[in-house]
Structure 1
Amino acid sequence: MAGTYDNEEQRMVDRIKCIAFREARDEGARFINRQWIAQKIHRTTRFVTEWWEKLYDECFADYSKSGRKLKLSEASRNIILNGSGKQGKSSYIVAKEIAEKQNEYVLRKTIDNYRSREGLKPFHVIPKPLKTETHISNRFWFCDWLKDWTKEDFLHLAPSNEFYVWIVRRSNYQNDRVWSKSIEDIEDDERYREMVKNRVCIEIFVIFTAKKLHWVIKDKGESWTGQYFRDTILMQHVIPFLKNEENVIDPDEVIFVHDKAPCMRANMTQHLLQDNNIKFWGNDTWPGNSPDLNVAEHIGTVIKNEVEKKMLSETEHDRYRGETLKKHISDVLKNMETDIELFETLLCSYPSRLRAVKNANGRHTDY
């Protein structure tokens, strides 16, 4: 998130701003939070969190005895290698650590190049979603609202979601990178994936019931707008799917579930579902920022994992081709289409998911 002209002088200024904004918040400016500060200074929330509780004197680094190093010292190389395979040890953090411990000024690019020469590769971490007080309150209300539902009630749900399937999973920002020789060298390897350039991806929409899975593979170049969601996804796929007795336990009882994506949150979308007599959890029901409560997220994870295995088995020529990716996505979806055991297991997991939310005080759960 830092600008093109990011340098140590600018970082010092931004550190001071973090502390000043935090002091203003403590004096009564309650609208100020870490996300707000991050947007103001064009930094990550991790940067803000690291600096806003510190003293002003800690914002400055002394480089008076050090110039730009043409060659890394052995101590600096050890610091770089010791930071491998660990979250929070990006090149920026390692450069800062070298400056503090060795009094050496090393560019992030130098550290990246050294890591590459040592056979290390960058991976990225998938962060847990943050929960505001509003999110937490809504999640508690949602749990209470469903407290009397039985597992049989949940079998009438039809969860859905749309997501991207990448040839290699998408990377996040520089500070989310983890350098390692392989995924196996990193703890909790499900959270990390290799980073590559020019990643091809395909967007798909999935919906499933206790009886069947249905999907839409978005055409290349088609924008995922509210109009596309209503005209194509809902009118041509979701509504006919839910009204077909072969796909649901009871067409009169099935409930369409989707998160609060803009295409679903739009009033036109809500009215369209109402006009077609489709039951659904609307804006006043579904709690925002709650992927752990949408079991379709699990379906997406299964699809991504299976597709990733197939792509990794491809030869170098087909490894990064979009046609290969689309073929494997179709094959995985067809194999899952009638996996009733999986569908029922996910739908019946709602009671335990709701308990987990309460046990986590409304915050992120492991689902």
Structure 2
Amino acid sequence: MKSKDLQQVVFRKYEDGDSPTKIFRDLNGSLGLAIIKRWRKMIRETGSIQLLKPPGGPRFARTMVSVRSLTKDYPISKSSVHRILREDLKLHAYKMTVEPKITEEPKTKRKKFVNWVGNNFRKEDTMRILFSDEKMFDLDAIYNSQNQRIWVASRDEADEKGGIKMKQKFSQKFMVWLGVCSEGMIPLVIFDQGTMDHARYIQKVLPIAFKYGNKTFGEYWTFQQDGAKPHIHQLTQKWCQDKFPSFIDKDHWPPNSPDLNPLDYCIWDEFAQYLSWEKVISKPTLIDELKRAV
């Protein structure tokens, strides 16, 4: 996108009342946050974006595509490029974030959900929601090739010092259910044998959630579950309708909404990092470690 186009976008978003951070996110890093703030200040003071043209030719560092292409096209070292980017241009490198693609239909359902919550829940009611979710765990633990690195002199030395991640072709895995609320967590429900269908979900999970919610909150509280098949089964929905004081049914909870459930949003990741994976050598030891970590 050309500079003139970016100026028009920033100007239009300024008129719409968007904050600098929102504009920065909407542009996906095409323009620095400091530049956006400076342009907004120009608009407030002068009513337009007036940029002074630098003397001489264009600054090649500002017109580059990437560090790799710049070092290839110009007689400049990689370290010099990084120094120009960090010190002269005050830029920072950010990794691309991955988010679920939301089409128009889920967007419409999310808007309906917001309106429904606004009309049916007070602020204090949202603190009495019991959130729930399932997650698969296996013996191969959690591995991130970008973050887990070993600093050594050679690849051979890295391999000797644990630089190889061994992964089983048919790893033992099982599903874990967890419930969380503002008051704490429910003990794990572990499905270590077979899969979870609606019958097992009704038999093993819902009574535990019902007992915990009543003990924690008393007569009035709300149970949440997502759109997994065992959850939206008609018998599951009927059980929830008959037993829970209140629950978010399948017609209200919107799809592709990990930002609405604290388990999806952060707790599962924190939980997985808290496990002592070096102690996990078998299925029973993984189960013991899961129970300890809660």
Give the TM-score, by structure 2 length: 0.55
1:103 is matched with which residue?
Answer: none
Q: Is the 8 A contact 1:160 1:258 kept in 2?
A: yes
Query: What is the alpha-carbon distance in structure 2 between the residues aligned to residue 277 and residue 305 of structure 1?
Result: 33
SS at match of 1:215: coil
Amino acid of the structure 2 residue aligned with 1:143: V
| 1:134-179 alpha-carbon deviations (Å, 9 max, x no partner) | 11111122223334655422111110111112333579xxxxxx97
From the CA coordinates, give the structure whose radius of gyration is larger: 2
Aligned CA distance change for structure 1 residues 159 and 271 (closer, same or farther; 3 Å): same
Q: Is the 8 A contact 1:169 1:195 kept in 2?
A: no
Aligned CA distance change for structure 1 residues 327 and 179 (closer, same or farther; 3 Å): closer
Query: What is the alpha-carbon distance in structure 2 between the residues aligned to residue 126 and residue 321 of structure 1?
Result: 34
Shift of 1:267: 1.3
SS at match of 1:218: strand
1:128 is matched with which residue?
Answer: 99
- Structure 2 spans left out of the alignment, 5+ residues: 1-95, 151-164
1:306 is matched with which residue?
Answer: 274
2:139 is matched with which residue?
Answer: 167
5 Å-filtered alignment, 1:105-124, equals none
1:287 is matched with which residue?
Answer: 254
Q: Is the 8 A contact 1:200 1:320 kept in 2?
A: no
The question of 1:144 aligning with 2:105 is answered no
Query: What is the alpha-carbon distance in structure 2 between the residues aligned to residue 224 and residue 266 of structure 1?
Result: 12
Query: What is the alpha-carbon distance in structure 1 between the residues aligned to residue 123 and residue 184 of structure 2?
Result: 18
Q: Is the 8 A contact 1:255 1:281 kept in 2?
A: yes
Shift of 1:208: 2.1
Q: Is the 8 A contact 2:220 2:245 kept in 1?
A: no
Partner of residue 196 from structure 1, selected from 151, 164, 167: 167
Query: What is the alpha-carbon distance in structure 1 between the residues aligned to residue 235 and residue 97 of structure 2?
Result: 33
Q: Is the 8 A contact 2:226 2:253 kept in 1?
A: yes
The two structures, once aligned, show a CA RMSD in angstroms of 2.8
> Aligned pairs, how many?
182
Query: What is the alpha-carbon distance in structure 2 between the residues aligned to residue 267 and residue 238 of structure 1?
Result: 18
Partner of residue 320 from structure 1, selected from 275, 281, 293: 281
1:330 is matched with which residue?
Answer: 291
Shift of 1:306: 0.9
The question of 1:154 aligning with 2:126 is answered yes
Query: What is the alpha-carbon distance in structure 1 between the residues aligned to residue 225 and residue 197 of structure 2?
Result: 15
Shift of 1:222: 3.2
Query: What is the alpha-carbon distance in structure 2 between the residues aligned to residue 301 and residue 183 of structure 1?
Result: 15
SS at match of 1:146: helix
Shift of 1:283: 1.4
1:224 is matched with which residue?
Answer: 196
Query: What is the alpha-carbon distance in structure 1 between the residues aligned to residue 138 and residue 181 of structure 2?
Result: 25
Query: What is the alpha-carbon distance in structure 2 between the residues aligned to residue 169 and residue 132 of structure 1?
Result: 33
Amino acid of the structure 1 residue aligned with 2:274: E
Shift of 1:284: 1.7
1:252 is matched with which residue?
Answer: 219
Amino acid of the structure 1 residue aligned with 2:181: T
SS at match of 2:177: strand
Aligned CA distance change for structure 1 residues 265 and 220 (closer, same or farther; 3 Å): same
Aligned CA distance change for structure 1 residues 130 and 275 (closer, same or farther; 3 Å): same
Aligned CA distance change for structure 1 residues 167 and 151 (closer, same or farther; 3 Å): farther
Identity of matched residues, %: 19
Give the TM-score, by structure 1 length: 0.44
Partner of residue 240 from structure 1, selected from 208, 211, 228: 211
Q: Highest relative contact order (Cα 8 Å, sep 6+), 1 or 2?
A: 1
Query: What is the alpha-carbon distance in structure 2 between the residues aligned to residue 153 and residue 255 of structure 1?
Result: 8
SS at match of 1:199: coil
Amino acid of the structure 2 residue aligned with 1:157: I
Shift of 1:294: 1.1
Shift of 1:184: 4.2
2:237 is matched with which residue?
Answer: 270
- Structure 1 spans left out of the alignment, 5+ residues: 1-124, 172-177, 186-193, 334-367
Shift of 1:219: 4.1
Q: Is the 8 A contact 1:200 1:322 kept in 2?
A: yes
Q: Is the 8 A contact 2:280 2:289 kept in 1?
A: no
1:5 is matched with which residue?
Answer: none
1:361 is matched with which residue?
Answer: none
